[in-house]
Every structure is written in structure tokens, then in C-alpha cells.
Amino acid sequence: MRKLLIAPAALTAAAIAATLGFGSSHREAPGITLDPTADNTDTYAWTAKDAPGALTVAADWIPGEVPANGPNFFGWDDRARYYIHVDNTGDGRPDVSYRYQFKTTVKNKESFLYALPGASGYDDPKLNVVQRYSIVREKYRYNGKKVSVHAKTIARGLPSAPPNIGPKTFPNYKVFEDGAVKTIGDGTKVFAGQRDDPFFVDLGATFDGINIRQLTGNQGQGKDDLSGMNTHSIVMQIPERLVTKDHKSVSGANAGNAVVGVWSTTERRRLQVNGASAAKRKHHRKAKRSYHDGWVQVSRLGNPLVNEVVIPLGKKDQFNRTTPDRDAELYGKYVVKPELAAILNALFDIKAPENDRTDIVLALLQGIPMLNQHAGIDGPPAVDTIKLNLGVPPADTEDRFGVIGGDTAGFPNGRRLGDDVVDIELQVVAGFLKDNKVPLGDGVDQNDKPFLSTFPYLASPHDGFNSAPSTRVEPGHAPVPAGG
Ligand SMILES: [Ca+2]
Ligand SMILES: [Ca+2]
Ligand SMILES: [Ca+2]
């Protein structure tokens, strides 16, 4: 068992949690709201208990998939490129990226049905619509401003699990789930397809002016507005040696190669997003990276809720187009002086520090010293990636409050599916790291479906016939102190 050597002080003062706000990244910016198939909703990165030598990543797209949504169900867009990025040096530039592109086939164009009753597999003609995908692994080398990319197709023709229409159409949906789990040549395990949305939040309360139903939170009774809803997920389990900076496995939490930064993005062809003003076109040219010629990034997601509630409306679309290495320069000031702290004070008088929030910058954008800060750079730049120390062993019992709850294997050291990032971030913005410990929360403590103990970990999608979206209410319980 690998052991984390960490100073107790780092666990309390400097240590701790990260971003701000509520609601992860569903419909978080005006532009991407008009383009849901390209909209990143959540990114997770953790070390799974059953795969200690691998980086496990889950990235979700398409917010608020109501399961009963026929006849044209939710799916990937063939015209987009879906990305998972890994930065193993801490500069906010990708070192290894995985590019997913999908191709949709309609077997019988004379039928209006997505699938005929009793469809039993990907090759069954009764499954009328099939989405398959390829994966390209991109490796980057940097020489000053010059970038060279080595791109290699590592998989093609893999099936994506279809939308779970209902038990008459898919009497055995598990066949599709199991059939969508693949191990490719380099030992990487992959899954793509529809899943239950693993994020849980009382959105109704949060965005009605932070109208928390039960102040100060943490006593249950919140309504999980994403309960009963689905999303589209890519899940990967990548052997450590394929993502670390020295191409070796991680020997322990103190190893120089232990920390990786993870985020996801979506790109569209430049023609599809143009028609813009000269100023915008100039911006696009500047944002353009030579190795992605002809494509432009339209969405990105590292830590939950950054674009949702830290970045102001006027900058949200720009945030989606830019890369993490420019975060400090472009958005640092919004983190140091978060609007949310002022709002919380105005609403609830909780005495949250409103200025000079370097505690948040450290935890969220730089990494926690001796835990998930990249080794080998003094004063690491502030970049919005999920920083995970791959040498920290998974917790035997997970604490939903992660690091502020004393569980260093959780958020913001990576992000697990069950981490209650809404409660954590509310408490951190309120000043948890500055000794202002307010037991804030949205009253929703967990996902509506249990997660799986094995790959792909996210729960099966809700089926359309039996669906009841947005109805689960967390049972009431005794107050929980700040940090859990
Ligand atoms: Ca890098
Ligand atoms: Ca859910
Ligand atoms: Ca919560």
C-alpha cells in the first residue's frame, strides 16, 4: 500500500478545496447553451479502487437529457470532436490528448424508429441507429512557442451505448452496456454512451438567487434536479505510464511524476462557428492552435463550477474558447474576488472573505502543496485543470467532502463521482480555509443511483418508459458540521 506523506498543516490551512459555486457546468455560458451536443457538463479524474495503476477519467456532455425524448433521442454529434486532455508538467498545456469522433449510421432510412422492439445487439438490424467512434491519441512536444504533435489512431469502429429507450425496445439493455466496454491495444479501457448523469444538485434552489431550501444546508431536504436524467459519457482507464511525464508508472505520492492535470473540451469546424465580427474572427485566429487548424474549441471543463459561477457572463464564451495556460492572465481576478462570496454575505450574512482569496487560487488552480501540486515548478501557474496525485491510494471509505472532510483521495485532489462539490465549494467560498467554517450545502448529498464498483462506474441510464426526471428529494437528517 502506498502511503501519502503529508504535513498536517497542509491538510488544514493551505490544503483544501477548490472552486466556487454550484451546479457544475450544465448550460453554463450563453453561447454553448445553443449547442448542447458540444456542451461539456462534468469532468472527473480519480484512482479507482479496482485499478490502482491507472488514471480513470469520466467526461460528460449534453446537459439535462430527459430519458423519454423520442423519436430522435440524444446522441453524439458527428460534426464535433470530443477531447480529454492530460497535462503532466503543470503548465496548463496538454501533453497527451485523446480525440473522439463519432459516426452515426441509420440502417433503415424508411423507418422512424430508433430501434424496433426486441433489439438485442449492435449488429441486430432492429437497432436502426448506431453510433460508432474512433480515438486518436495526440502527443505534444513544446519547444518555446513551437508545438509538434504526434497523432495516432488507436481505435476505430467502437460502438457507443445507445439511449435507453425503454424495456420493450431493449429488453436487455445490459448487452449494449457490456458491449460498449472495450480494451484497446495499449491496455486502455474505454466506454462511450449514455449514462445516468452522475452530478447531483438542487439547481432549482441554487439559481433562484441561491434560494437554499434549508439554511444553513447540510440537513437534507434538497431536490436533485438532475435525478432521473441522463448524459453522454466517455470513460477511460489509462495505464499510468501512458500519461506520466517520464512514461513510467507512479511509485508513490511523492514521486516526481505523480500529478496529472485533466480537462475536457469540444471542438467544431471553424466554418460552423464563424459569421462573426472582424474582432471575433481575429480572436479566433489568436486562439487557434496550429495543430488544430480548421477547428475551434467551443467548450471546455476542468474543475466543476468555474465557468458556471466564477466567470462573469461577459467572459463565459471566451472562457470556453481559451486554454488553461492563459487562465491566470485572463480570469485570475474573478477567482481572487469571487462575486459569489459577496452574494452569500448579502443573502445570509455569513462573513465570507470577499477579497484576496489566494486560498481559492491555490486549492483550485495551483494545486495543494505536498498533495496535488505539480512537482518541479516553483510557484506553479494558475490553470484550471483537475489535478490528481496518482500516488495517493483510493480511500477505503469515501468522504463526500473530500479533502476538507479529511479524505485526501477526493476533491480537489482529483474528483470522484460521489464528491459533493456543491457543498465543498460553498463552504470554501464561505471561507473554510480561512477559518470561517459555515455548514453550507444544497441539501442533496448523493446521486440518485448508486455508482458501479467496476468500469465504467457511472450508473446505467434511466429508461424513457419508466422515467421520472427531477423528482428525488434527499431525506432530511441531522445537521452536518462544516467539512463533514
Ligand atoms: Ca503540459
Ligand atoms: Ca443522477
Ligand atoms: Ca450537496
28 Cα–ligand 2 center, Å: 18
Q: Is the dihedral of CA 263, 269, 273, 278 positive or negative?
A: positive
**Separation CA 81–CA 454 (nearest Å):** 27
Q: According to the model, what pLDDT value does residue 213 have?
A: 61
- For residue 91, the ligand closest to its alpha carbon is 1
**Separation CA 161–CA 115 (nearest Å):** 13
Q: Which residues surround ligand 2, an ion (CB under 5 A)?
A: 196-197, 447-448
307 Cα–ligand 2 center, Å: 21
**Separation CA 305–CA 165 (nearest Å):** 30
200 Cα–ligand 2 center, Å: 6
Q: According to the model, what pLDDT value does residue 132 have?
A: 98
Q: Is the dihedral of CA 129, 182, 179, 467 positive or negative?
A: negative
- For residue 41, the ligand closest to its alpha carbon is 2
Give the predicted TM-score (pTM) of the model.
Answer: 0.90
Per-residue pLDDT tens, the chain, 484 aa: give them. 333 333 322 222 222 222 222 335 666 667 777 889 999 999 999 999 999 999 999 999 999 999 998 888 999 999 999 999 999 999 999 999 999 999 999 999 999 899 999 999 999 999 999 999 999 999 999 998 899 999 999 999 999 999 999 999 999 999 999 999 999 999 999 999 999 999 999 877 666 666 666 555 678 888 999 999 999 999 999 999 999 999 999 999 999 999 999 999 999 998 644 445 556 556 555 544 445 678 999 999 999 877 766 788 888 889 999 999 999 999 988 889 988 899 889 888 899 999 999 998 888 899 999 999 998 888 889 999 999 999 999 999 999 999 999 999 999 999 999 999 999 999 999 999 999 999 888 999 999 999 999 999 999 999 999 999 999 999 999 888 899 8
243 Cα–ligand 1 center, Å: 11
- For residue 461, the ligand closest to its alpha carbon is 2
Burial of 158 (0-12, 13-18, 19+ CB in 10 A): buried
Give the three-state DSSP class for 294: coil
Say if CB 380 and CB 92 are below 8 A apart.
no
332 Cα–ligand 2 center, Å: 32
Q: According to the model, what pLDDT value does residue 461 have?
A: 98
Say if CB 43 and CB 299 are below 8 A apart.
no
